[in-house]
Amino acid sequence: MKFFVDTGDINEIRELCDTGLVDGVTTNPSLVASSGKDFKELIGDICTLTTGHVSAEVLATDYRTMLKEADVLSAIADNVCIKLPLTPDGLKACKVLSSNGIATNVTLCFSALQALLAAKAGATYVSPFIGRLDDIGQNGGDLIADIVTIYDNYEDYNTQILAASIRGPQHVLDAALSGAHVATLPPKILRQMSQHPLTDKGLAGFMKDWEQTGQSLL
């Protein structure tokens, strides 16, 4: 499973990319706004920190303007992935961009049928928002499983399932068990995934015993 970090904080991205565990970055208008930086400048800076895809979202809602904005964003760096809303205009733009070899991420997916349309439009990624479904009493994990089943039924669908709106480590586990290709998650959650109280306890015990030997490796 690939891990994308979902943030507009350049320092967080740099620190996590240095771990070697990050395969790409996703952004959205809200994250860009919270960064306080110029959108194009921010995307350019992020693209220098990773060779993986960096999702940059169009702001237009009509097809023609989406394509114009996509041209601007694609020119920033080779690893920019154009993020498009899962609307008729967004799907139409996705088909054109995908046909021209431009990476796309179709976002705000809340149903398996929407994901089917994204695959038919040639999307590189589709982003089901599992946390937001859980928020309204539905099961986001079931959506991932349904999309996996549909995509597995058709060999010509190459769209990767990018689990989004991750609320905690359990969402990452559920998505991985269901077969999602990517999880995009806030920095805090990526760090939480390495934590376990028994790991901490065991390490403390090892260190205590080692100190008693009076030895050093350096």
Rg (CA), the chain: 20
Question: In the annotation, is 188 catalytic?
Answer: no
pLDDT at site 152: 97
Q: What is the pLDDT of residue 195?
A: 96
Q: How far is it, in rounded angstroms, from Cα 45 to Cα 74?
A: 14
CA distance 108 to 133: 11
Residue 107 has what pLDDT?
Answer: 98
pLDDT reported for residue 165: 97
Catalytic residue (one of 83, 120, 188, 201): 83
User: What pLDDT shows up at residue 175?
Assistant: 97
The pLDDT, as a whole number, for residue 10 is 96
**How do residues 11-21 score in pLDDT, each as one tens digit?**
999 999 999 99
Q: What architecture (CATH level 2) is domain 2-211? A: Alpha-Beta Barrel (3.20)
CB atoms within 10 A of CB 204: 10
Six token digits for residue 4: 């994308």
The answer to whether the CB of 85 falls within 8 A of the CB of 107 is yes
pLDDT tens digit string along 89-142?
A: 999 999 999 999 999 999 999 999 999 999 999 999 999 999 999 999 999 999
Mean pLDDT, contiguous 10-residue spans, the chain (218 residues) = 97 96 96 94 97 98 98 98 98 98 98 98 98 95 97 96 97 97 97 96 97 94
Whole-structure pTM value? 0.95
Measure Cα distances from 196 to 22, 125, 191, 193, 202 in Å.
20, 31, 11, 8, 10
With beta carbons less than 8 A apart as the criterion, state whether 21 and 3 touch: yes
